[in-house]
């Protein structure tokens, strides 16, 4: 695809859709590292002008990664709802943006349009949307999913309790989990990142979390975020897992670098439906994050936003219970500072939602990134107003195992309080019954004390 | 439960994990001392990333100093590839000052934590020299690389062709410890070498792996690499 445009007296030429897509992005250090970003602000705007006039059928005709060579492309292509696509294929990306933001079009309309779009079309429209556009659009979309409990309802801000421990010490994990529960955190999932990826250890961690859930009759679900194959071995041995987890990349080569394939994901799906401990139809937990394909040298000169969108195209195929981007974990060579992380968080959340995904965000940063906890205050507030399905909490925002910072339990309780949103309905009832909250959702005197559960 | 009981229970929970639990709250927000202590640990981590290794210390160890192509700290963080290659000037100086083809080449680099070098190098470096001399190994001319990434060992390997290589480099700082050091080792470093051919001892600092223990372990690994003429997953330890 060749396009030419004149902007402010300068003529810009683009030689492929891939080039237009990359140059139309907001500034990201990862696209600079890949050598594909716009040279200056004017070229960035020229690329956006061209992209805005590109039709959806053009985007479909020029795949950024050929479906013959990449199973993620193939899957996305096969999952397009042809009936919807047929109606909108002559729309430009600008038309799509205006349809999405039109206030006559609400959750139902946006989710329906989403089925006729490829992940690349969704990435394209995201590139010509402002931060507030992304918040407005995402806030209209409701995606409710059901594993052991249901989350995603309007006015609900759910949370993952992440009680990690540097040596997977069970009593240590339990202590952190009690702290989380005492602040009303853990309604989306109790999810542990293990240090030791052996079958026996995954078994022990699943057992431990399930035991706490059963003992206190907590309406939530458990998950251990190890490689899919060790979870499968543990589940086959009888470990109680409500969900199964995997990190995803937006290309086949990227997924190979994670040691996974689509057929493995399908195999795991069968297993979790056969042997999983939950009741609902959504049994997957996926994590993603801009930049992972470049870091695995599996990006094919495609920009990181487009590749991230393709992760969602892949995720959608498996009807997950929860998905989150680990937005600030990857490091400054992909997202340099708070401005880039905040932008990426809003982009990922919107893209996930219009794909029809139960989208959450790990609002986070590493110590070599130009960001601090105030930036996480900002991003979590923005995402909560955008209706993010869930966020992640660790004690005082400091993950003592993964060595990065996310949100604290205090932060999530504060967001609920300030924005008038609540924990997931079943979990909110449980909190009230335990005497940790009053009807308004406000914490009682007993809350915020882990010894409450001793 | 009485207040005393609660305090005892909290103590019993806190002993199982370094996580910041049992901190309490005012409204939904943390108490001031916990909030400030969290921000202080982050400040130490940021200062470790943006800090510079003391030049006095480098002199004291009798090291000369060269730079990679990193240019500035911001650029270093955005472009890890630049920290893997030496500047032209560095190459000239290294060729001029170093003994080529040593049995073991030692290089020190700031990496992502200047304070890792400041806090640990006076413990680790002499212990390492002792450990290597116990195996009777000849050591090349050591030096300091500013703005280095782990794979800068490959570029240095191309110039000096050492048989074995030890890079002492600052780790990405965490909140628990902002000055943790890693020792990366390999046999015959060269361009395009696989990450799985490198070996690492990490978490070297006063409350982590002690310097003496790390140095002894490095000596053992290096002597095995020289015996077996390989490093990485294939090395029989």
Cβ separation of B13 and A332 shorter than 8 Å? Answer: no
For the stretch B78-109, pLDDT in tens is: 999 999 999 999 999 999 999 999 999 999 99
The pLDDT value recorded for residue B68 is 98
Task: Examine residue B139 and state whether it is found in any structural domain, yes or no.
Answer: yes
Average pLDDT over residues A368-380: 97
Q: Which spans in A7-55 are helix H?
A: 17-23, 29-33, 41-53
Compute φ and ψ for A309, nearest 5 degrees: -60, -40
Q: What is the pLDDT of residue A374?
A: 98
Contact B9 A172 (CB under 8 A): no
Residue A302: pLDDT band (50, 70, 90) is: very high
Q: Report the gap between the CA of A263 and the closest CA in chain B (Å).
A: 27
Burial class (CB in 10 A: 0-12, 13-18, 19+), A297: exposed
Tokens of residue B97, six digits: 């000052």
Residue B234 clears pLDDT 90, i.e. is over it? no
Mean pLDDT of A410-422: 98
Domain ranges across chain A? 145-453
Instruction: Give a yes or no: residue B168 inside a domain.
Output: yes
Out of B28, B34, B49, name the one closest to residue A414 (CB): B28
For chain A, first and last CA: distance in Å? 65
**Mean pLDDT of the A128-140 span:** 98
Take residue B126 and report the two structure tokens written for it. Answer: 């002499």
For the segment A393-419, the average pLDDT, to the nearest whole number, is 97
pLDDT at position B158: 97
**Chain A residues near residue B34 by CB distance under 8 angstroms:** 396
Q: Is A167 on the interface with B (CB under 8 A)?
A: no
Q: Distance (Å) from the C-alpha of residue A18 to the closest C-alpha of chain B?
A: 23
Q: Decide if A187 touches B, using CB distance below 8 A.
A: no
A445 inside 8 A of chain B by CB: no
CB burial of residue A61 (10 Å; 0-12, 13-18, 19+): exposed
The per-residue pLDDT for B10 is 86
Domain range for B174: 50-228
Host H or E run for residue A9:
none
Q: Which fold has domain A145-453?
A: TIM Barrel (3.20.20)
Evaluate if residue B2 carries a pLDDT over 80: no
Answer yes or no: are the C-beta atoms of A189 and A222 closer than 8 Å: yes
Contact A365, B174 (CB under 8 A): no
ipTM: 0.94
Instruction: Tell me the helices (H) and strands (E) count for chain B, helix number first.
Output: 8, 6
As a whole-number percent, the residues of chain B with pLDDT over 70 amount to 100
**Displacement of CA A184 from its chain's centroid (Å):** 22
Domain assignment present for B38: no
Residue of chain B nearest A366, judged by CA positions: B174
- Residue B1 confidence (pLDDT): 62
With respect to residue B234, please indicate whether it lies within any of the assigned structural domains. Answer: no
**pLDDT category, A410, cuts 50, 70, 90?**
very high
Using the predicted structure, report yes or no on whether residue B3 has a pLDDT greater than 80. no
Please give the pLDDT value at position B57: 96
Q: Tell which phi-psi region holds residue B202, choosing left (phi > 0), alpha (psi between -120 and 50) or beta.
A: beta
Return the exposure string of A342-351: e unless at least 16 CB atoms fall within 10 Å of the residue's CB, then b: bbbbbbbbbb
Q: How far is B39 from chain A (nearest CA, A)?
A: 8
Q: What is the pLDDT of residue A413?
A: 98
Is A195 within 8 Å of chain B by CB? no
Confidence of residue B113 (pLDDT cuts 50, 70, 90): very high
The 10s digit of each residue's pLDDT in A76-131 is: 999 999 999 999 999 999 999 999 999 999 999 999 999 999 999 999 999 999 99
Tell whether A145 is within 8 A of chain B (Cβ): no
Mean pLDDT on A44-50: 97
In a domain, B71, yes or no: yes
Q: CA of B8, closest CA in chain A: separation in Å?
A: 9
Tokens at residue A342, please? 């905040």
Please give the tally of structural domains in chain B: 1
- Residues B171-188: what's their mean pLDDT? 94
Q: How confident is the model over A429-438, as a mean pLDDT?
A: 97
A245: confidence class by pLDDT, cuts 50, 70, 90 = very high
Q: Give me chain B's average pLDDT, please.
A: 94
CATH code of residue B86: 3.40.50.11240
What is d(CA B180, CA B202) in angstroms, rounded to the nearest whole number?
A: 8
Query: Are the beta carbons of A335 and A366 closer than 8 angstroms?
Result: no
Percent of chain A scoring above 70 in pLDDT? 100
Q: Does a structural domain hold residue B64?
A: yes
**Strand bridging mode B143-146 / B164-170:** unpaired
Q: Taking a C-beta distance cutoff of 8 angstroms, is the pair B140, B167 a contact?
A: no
Chain B environment of A32 (Cβ under 8 Å): 78
């Amino acid at each position: 695809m060749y396009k030419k445009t004149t902007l402010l007296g300068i003529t810009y030429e683009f030689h492929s859709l891939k080039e237009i897509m990359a140059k139309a992005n907001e500034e990201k250090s990862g696209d600079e590292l890949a050598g594909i970003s716009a040279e200056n602000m004017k070229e960035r705007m020229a690329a956006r002008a061209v992209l805005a006039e590109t039709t959806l059928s053009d985007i479909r005709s020029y795949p950024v990664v050929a479906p013959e060579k990449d199973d993620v492309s193939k899957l996305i292509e096969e999952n397009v709802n042809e009936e919807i696509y047929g109606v909108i294929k002559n729309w430009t990306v600008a038309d799509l943006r205006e349809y999405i933001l039109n206030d006559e079009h609400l959750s139902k309309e946006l989710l329906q349009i989403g089925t006729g779009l490829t992940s690349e079309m969704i990435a394209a429209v995201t590139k010509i949307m402002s931060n507030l556009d992304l918040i407005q659009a995402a806030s209209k979309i409701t995606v409710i999913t059901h594993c052991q409990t249901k989350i995603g309802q309007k006015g609900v801000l759910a949370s993952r309790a992440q009680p990690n421990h540097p040596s997977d010490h069970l009593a240590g994990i339990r202590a952190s989990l009690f702290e989380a529960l005492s602040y009303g955190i853990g309604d989306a999932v109790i999810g542990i990142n293990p240090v030791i990826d052996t079958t026996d250890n995954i078994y022990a961690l699943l057992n431990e979390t399930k035991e706490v859930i059963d003992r206190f009759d907590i309406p939530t679900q458990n998950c251990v975020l190890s490689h899919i194959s060790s979870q499968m071995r543990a589940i086959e041995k009888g470990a109680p897992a409500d969900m199964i987890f995997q990190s995803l990349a937006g290309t086949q080569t990227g997924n190979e670098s994670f040691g996974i394939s689509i057929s493995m994901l399908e195999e795991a799906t069968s297993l979790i439906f056969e042997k999983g401990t939950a009741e609902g139809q959504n049994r997957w937990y996926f994590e993603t994050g801009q930049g992972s394909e470049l870091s695995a040298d599996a990006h094919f000169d495609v920009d990181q936003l487009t590749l991230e969108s393709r992760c969602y195209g892949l995720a959608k195929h498996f009807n997950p219970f929860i998905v989150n981007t680990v937005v600030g974990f990857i490091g400054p060579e992909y997202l340099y500072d708070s401005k880039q992380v905040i932008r990426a968080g809003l982009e990922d959340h919107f893209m996930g939602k219009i794909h029809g995904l139960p989208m959450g965000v790990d609002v986070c940063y590493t110590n070599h990134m130009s960001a601090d906890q105030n930036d996480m205050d900002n991003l979590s507030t923005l995402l909560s107003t955008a209706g993010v399905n869930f966020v992640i909490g660790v004690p005082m925002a400091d993950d003592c195992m993964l060595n990065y910072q996310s949100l604290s339990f205090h932060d999530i309780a504060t967001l609920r309080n300030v924005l008038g949103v609540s924990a997931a309905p079943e979990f909110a009832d449980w909190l009230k019954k335990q005497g940790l909250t009053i009807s308004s959702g406000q914490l009682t005197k007993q809350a915020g004390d882990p010894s409450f559960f001793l | 439960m009485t207040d005393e009981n609660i305090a005892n229970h909290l103590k019993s929970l806190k002993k199982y994990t370094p996580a910041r639990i049992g901190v309490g709250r005012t409204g939904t927000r943390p108490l001031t001392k916990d909030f400030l202590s969290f921000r202080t640990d982050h400040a130490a981590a940021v200062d470790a990333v943006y800090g510079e290794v003391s030049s006095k210390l480098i002199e004291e160890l009798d090291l000369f100093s060269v730079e990679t192509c990193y240019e500035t700290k911001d650029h270093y963080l955005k472009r890890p590839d630049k920290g893997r290659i030496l500047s032209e000037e560095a190459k000239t100086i290294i060729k001029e000052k170093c003994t080529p083809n040593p049995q073991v080449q030692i290089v020190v680099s700031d990496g992502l934590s200047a304070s890792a070098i400041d806090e640990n190098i006076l413990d680790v470096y002499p212990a390492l020299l002792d450990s290597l001399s116990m195996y009777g190994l000849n050591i090349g001319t050591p030096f300091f690389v500013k703005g280095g990434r782990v794979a800068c060992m490959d570029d240095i390997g191309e110039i000096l062709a050492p048989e074995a290589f030890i890079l002492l480099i600052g780790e990405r700082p965490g909140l628990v410890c902002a000055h943790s050091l890693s020792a990366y080792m390999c046999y015959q470093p060269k361009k395009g070498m696989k990450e799985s051919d490198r070996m690492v001892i990490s978490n070297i600092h006063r409350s982590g792996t002690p310097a003496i223990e790390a140095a002894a372990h490095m000596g053992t690994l290096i002597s095995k690499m020289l015996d077996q003429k390989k490093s990485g997953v294939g090395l029989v330890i």
